[in-house]
Each structure stands twice: as structure tokens, then as C-alpha cells.
A and B are shown apart, each in its own frame.
Chain A
Amino acid sequence: MSTTQPLFQHHKHCDEIFADAEAACANGDWVAGATAFADFAGQLETHFKSEEEVLFPAFESATGMVSGPTEVMRGEHRQMRELLAQMKQALDERDGDGFGGTAETLLIMMQQHNMKEENILYPMCDNALGASDVGATIAQRLAGA
């Protein structure tokens, strides 16, 4: 298994719980929506932290690329965290339109972000960190989430 394989698979998992939360709230089932959203937000935060605290520093020290692609990804994590906060607020206020609109925005943001990671950054990380134990550490973190 490559270093970033667990993160790659975790993207799909996050997609699935995103879809559950979105569908529940669109149907007005706020209780199920809140549960699915909490799960989704928690998984996404674990994912971001695994990258920011483990993968990115390892990549940066292995390659010396500090202000490169990892910095762009950190910036996008920040944007997605803000969108998550907006979704949480809409959920608390039972604002269906606000939740759905922000979910739509987050979805596109997230999908483009994932594609950049999966197509560019992860292959770069796999090359740079092939022999390290970074992959195992990330897998442990994601499994514990």
C-alpha cells in the first residue's frame, strides 16, 4: 500500500457521509441530518489534521518545498473549515436553503481539492516518502476517527 492510499480511500468515505447528511437535511430530517453531519465534519477534520500534522510536514522536510503545494492545500482546508462552520450554523437554525447552498459549495470545493491531491500532491508524496512509516501513522489516525 502506498503512503497516501489511506487518505485516498478516506476521501470516498467522506463523500458517502456527506451525501447522507445532505439528503437527510434536504428531506427535512434534521435529527438524522445532524448525526450524519457531525460524523462528516469529524471525519473531515481528522482527514485535514492527518495531512497538516503528519503528511505535509513529512513531505516538506523530505523535499524542502515549504511554500509550495502544501501551502495551497492548507489554504483550501481553511476555506472548507469555514464552509463547515456555515453548514453547522444553518443546521442549528434549521435553515434548509442555507444548508443546501453551503453544502453544494463545499461539495465542489472539496471535489476539486481532492482531485488536486489525488492527481498531483499524493503521487508527489508517494515518491518522496515511499520508505517512511508516514502511511502507517496516517492509517492509524484515520482508523481511530
Chain B
Amino acid sequence: MHPNLSFEQAPPISVPYRFFLAAPWFGVLAGVLLAWAGGDALGSRWTPEALALTHLIAAGFMLQAMSGAMFQFIPVAVGGNVWRSLLVANVVQPLLLLGALLLVAGFLFSAPVLLRAAVPALLLGVGIVVTAVLFALWRTPATGMTLWTMRIAVAGLAVTVLLGSLLAEALARGLPLPLIELTNIHLAWGLGGWALMLVAAVSYFVVPMFQLTHPYPLWFARGFGPALLLAVTAWSVLWFVGDAPYARGVGLPLALLCAGFAAMTLWLQFTRRRKVDDATSLNFRVAMLALFAFGVSVAAIVAFPELADDPRATVWLGMLAFPGVFVSTISGMMYKIAPFLNWLHLQRLGAPISAVPNMKKMISADAMTAQFRLHVLALLLLLASVWLPSLVRAAGIMFAGSCVWLGWNLISAVNSYRRFRDQIRANVLRC
């Protein structure tokens, strides 16, 4: 049988779910940390709290959710087969959890020993994920831009973590390395080469599918990933050779690419055939608005460099990118993937389709929409708190609350799966 024609290779349901269930709680920790630290936490991108917050979202929330999504997405979307996915997940997830927590604690308490302990855990965990996933992505007979863009994204993850490990070692041991330049390169690979690249790869597939939009134009899908890779590479080379003014200049094409991707996705959504909105489409829209604002803000900083004199300008960019673009996108995706996963695995139990509860019975639609509203409120407060430190604590509490609710909604999806599975098994036995 052609590897692409059936879901048989989809991993056991526990593989993606373990990552999805863990992700929101890093967001809760980030919110609690912000509420506890208060106004000074967001004074610049270099405060221990800001570094800890960034990595709670990037190495915690995002890395967990995106790893889990790749395990599920690769077999279904590009027909790849992740080798022994259950074993890989069993090994990788504890390493990633441990690595992220050690890293965050290392930043927060300025503890070199914790930073150095985080490095092997993250290198090993991410190393295994990247190897397993790249192997699957290379062996699949499928073609297309989703596949190519995913390959670039996974390579981008490897570069991000290698650079991050080097930075952590340099920081912990006081190595004489250009920390600011390396950090700028590390974050361009993390945000652009890995995270946005993966969002683009997945969007080419799921935006038309979930929302019945037109497909991304071929020229766009063919050009965006390579152009982003080129811009991130140019940015890295220029920072590396120490040519800061030119490197900042590369910020302009990067900004245009971000705003361009956001504008294209918003246009496709605006002209979509499906008229019904749900928590997924709403989250995607907020994410794309945040990405557009991110692109415009970067362009403004390139055009008026004096804007960057205020260290809060970079914190503003981080707030747009992390909770704005990626937490929103990931929440929206998980709200679609979890119910479909439930349905997919339940209908394999041997009962007639009519006995399998539909996707909307897995998580309450009202709970998802209400959580989405709280997330938007938290995001607005977080953005405002960059400039109004008195709002920081409230924003932290609101964000923590929103992530608790997200975590709870995903737990309720697992509970629905268990309940329906037991019902179906009991009925099948009775027949």
C-alpha cells in the first residue's frame, strides 16, 4: 500500500498527547513568574526574569507542543514514518522537560551549574527528535512545499539548540564569546528558521483544509521558506562578522517576510469559503495579526534605529512573537488536533461510525471560545505591560489563568477519549 494513503502509521494517541498536555503548564509557570516578579521583569530582554520567561515559552511551551505535533503531523500530512515513535517519545520528553526547567532555573537564579546541566539534556533530547524526524522526512516518497519547508524547519531547530547550548556554556563558564551577537543569531534561528518555518509548513497544509480557503499561491509557498532561510542566514553571517549596521539592515527583509506571510494568511482567511468561525480560526487570526504587527515593529526599528534605544522595544517584539504569534497558533492547532485525534483513534475500535461521537463532543466549544477570549485579553495586557510596568502583575495572572484553562481543556479532551473508548469497547463486547 502506498505509505500516504492510510492513517495506519499514525503514532499511538499517547505520543502526541503527552506533549500537548505538558505544554500549557509552561505557560502557567511563565504567568506566575511574571506576576511574582512584577514591574522590573520586563525592563529589558536581559533581565534574569525575561530570559527565564522567554525560555519557558520557547523551550517549554513551544518545544513540547511542536514536537508532539510533528510526531502526529508527519505520518498524516507527508506520509513519513517516525521510527519507533513511542520509544522515541518516552526517551525524548523527559529530557526536554528536564532541560527546559533546568535552563529556566539557571537563568532565573543566575546559576551556572543549572545552565550547564541543561545543555546535555536539551542537546540529547532535541538531537534525538531532529534525527528521528529528519530521517522520516527524508524517506517519505511525498513531495511538495510542506515537506521541504518542514525539512528546513527541523534543521533550523538543530541550529537553534546548538547555538543556545554554546551560549549557555559561554555564560556559565564566562567564555570570551560575543554574547549579544550570538544571541541575535540564536533568536533569528529559533523564531524564524525553526518556529515560523514550521508554522508556514503546517499552514500550507491546514489553513486550506480547516477553513476551506484557497491554497497558498504556488509562487508564495515555493518562495517563502527559502527566502526566510536566506534572510536568517544573511543576518547570522553579518552578526557573526561583526557588521552590526548591515545585519540590522537585514531586519528589513525579515520584517517584510513576516508581515507578508501574515498578510497572505489573513487574505486567504478573509476570502475563505467556510463561513463558520471556531477557536482554531480565531486563534490563527490573532496570531497572524500579531505577526503582522511584529513585522511592522521590526521595520519601524530598522527605519528609526533610535527606537531601539529603549530596551523595552525588544521586549515588545518578544511579547508579540511568543504569546502573540506562537502561543495563539499552537493553541488553535491543539484545539483542532486533539478532537480529531480522539475521533481517529475511537473509530478504529471497531464500532460503526455512527457509534463514534463527533469531534465537537471532545472539548466543549464554549470552553474553547471562552479560553480564547481570556487569552486575547491576557495578550493585550501583556503588550500594554511592556510600556506600563504597573500592569505586569495583572498581565501575568491573566496569562497564567488562560494557560490553566487551555491545559484543562486539553485534559478534558483526554477524559472524553477515555470515556468514549470505554463505552465503545463495552458496546462492542456486548454485540
Contacts and interface: CB of A to CB of B under 8 A. Distances in A.
Contacts of B276: 19, 22-23, 26, 100
Contacts of B205: 115
B351 to A, nearest CB: 11
Interface stretch (A1-9, A104-112, A131-139): A104-112
Contact of B275 (A19, A101, A115): A19
Interface in A95-135: 97-98, 100-102, 104-105, 107-108, 111-112, 115-116, 119-121
B275 A119 contact: no
Contacts, number: 78
A125 to B, nearest CB: 13
Interface residues of A, number: 32
Contacts of B208: 111
B1 A68 contact: yes
Contacts of A15: 212, 273
Interface residues of B, number: 30
Contacts of A85: 354
Nearest to B206: A111
A43 B15 CA distance: 38
B353 interface: yes
B361 A101 contact: yes
A-side binding surface: helix, strand, loop or mixed? Answer: helix
A98 B354 CA distance: 11
A22 B208 CA distance: 16
Contact of A105 (B5, B6, B76, B359): B359
Contact of A69 (B5, B144, B273, B352): B5
Nearest to B4: A120
Contacts of A97: 360
Contact of A82 (B1, B142, B340, B352): B352
Given A16-B273, A120-B5, A112 B209 contact: yes
A81 B125 CA distance: 43
A20 B69 CA distance: 31
Contacts of B212: 15, 18-19, 107
Interface in B84-132: none
B25 interface: no
Interface in B338-387: 339-340, 343, 347, 352-354, 357-361
Residue from the set B336, B347, B353, B361 with the largest chain A CB neighbour count within 10 Å = B353
B267 interface: no
B5 A23 contact: no
B430 interface: no
Contacts of B352: 82
A116 B2 CA distance: 10
Given A86-B354, A120-B5, 4 more contacts: A22-B275, A98-B358, A104-B339, A107-B212
26 contacts: A15-B212, A19-B212, A19-B274, A23-B275, A23-B276, A68-B1, A68-B2, A69-B1, A69-B2, A72-B1, A72-B5, A72-B6, A97-B360, A98-B358, A100-B276, A101-B359, A101-B360, A101-B361, A102-B358, A105-B340, A107-B210, A111-B210, A112-B209, A115-B205, A116-B5, A119-B142
